[in-house]
Amino acid sequence: MKLKAFLRGLHAGIPIGLGYFAVSFTFGMEAVRSGLSIWEAVMISLLNLTSAGQFAGLDIIVAGGPLIEMAATQLIINLRYCLMSFSLSQKLEKKAPHAHRFAVAFGVTDEIFGVSASQSGEVSPYFNYGAMCVAIPGWSLGTLVGAVCGNILPAFIMSALGIAVYGMFLAIIIPPAKKSRPVLLVVLGAMAISCLFTYVPFINQISSGFAIIIATVVAAGAAALLCPIKEEVDAHAE
């Protein structure tokens, strides 16, 4: 059972690892260009496993900003993980020993959360470990390769890989949106709000991390009030 969950996680991790490679490649490139050592760049990726937070953190390191600014920036940009972990806390196998939660928490990224949320019923921690086993090496190796040979990989490959994670997100949200009207409205609503935060002057100054939190809370909150799930259906049945 554990092995099966682990293998399913590995499989789900492949597109994640591919997409990560492209993003973290640019991070490694950028970090070395900003004056960090290769080892420091890889260590940041290995310990943080987050894209927007790392790029923002890199800016603060390079500027020599105060540590409190580093802490506050990470808190704001990464606060969405708090929502995801909270959602996952309901979804993770109840019978699994508590210690697993500390390990699973390390791998709560947008993408790994996405695939584990799309599992039907409870999710085994081993599923997350499987996804982490592909995603973490993808993220760290991408940083290493980017840091070592920043300008060798041709731009068109980087460009094509950039869309991978979004394709994956669509594969997660579209099928349930097809079957459930409220989910469809949540998806469209969240996208619309996210557009506001991207294109409308002034409010597009808000950090992307905050924009995602606001879009998520507003869209999911409205749906919860308007279409609460009455019966004991399992949340992400599919």
Partner 1 sequence: MPNNIYLYILVMAGVTYLIRMLPLALWKREIKNVYVRSFLHYVPYACLAAMTFPAILSSTGSLLSAIFGFAVALLLAYREKSLLTVALCACGTVFVVEQLLLWLPSLGF
Footprint on residues 59-98 left by partner 1 (CB under 8 A):
60-62, 64, 67, 70-71, 74-75, 78-90, 92, 94, 98
Q: Do 115 and 88 meet the contact criterion of CB atoms below 8 Å apart?
A: no
Task: Give whichever of 141 and 209 is closer to partner 1, judged by the CB atom.
Answer: 209
Kindly identify the residues of this chain, within the stretch 119-158, that bind partner 1 according to CB under 8 A: 155-157
The count of residues interacting with partner 1 (CB under 8 A) is: 108
Kindly identify the residues of this chain, within the stretch 36-55, that bind partner 1 according to CB under 8 A: 36, 40, 43-44, 47-50, 53-54
Percent helix, strand, coil in the chain, to 5, is 75, 0, 20
| Residue from the set 137, 153, 194, 210 that interacts with partner 1 by CB under 8 A | 194
Write phi, then psi, for 228 (nearest 5 degrees): -65, 150
Kindly identify the residues of this chain, within the stretch 195-234, that bind partner 1 according to CB under 8 A: 195, 198-199, 211-212, 215-217, 219-221, 223-225, 227-230
In the chain, count H helices and then E strands: 12, 0
Q: Which residues pair with 92 in a beta bridge?
A: 123
In this chain, which stretch among 2-10, 105-113, 137-145 interacts with partner 1, using CB under 8 A? Answer: 105-113
Q: Which ranges constitute the DSSP H helices of 79-109?
A: 80-91, 99-106
In this chain, which stretch among 1-9, 133-141, 143-151, 192-200 interacts with partner 1, using CB under 8 A? Answer: 192-200
The pair of structure tokens assigned to 76 is: 């704001």
Q: Tell the smallest beta-carbon distance from residue 94 to partner 1 (Å).
A: 7
> How much is the CA Rg of the chain, to the nearest whole Å?
19
Q: Tell the smallest beta-carbon distance from residue 24 to partner 1 (Å).
A: 15
Q: Which residue has the tokens 């049945």?
A: 237
The pair of structure tokens assigned to 103 is: 């390990």
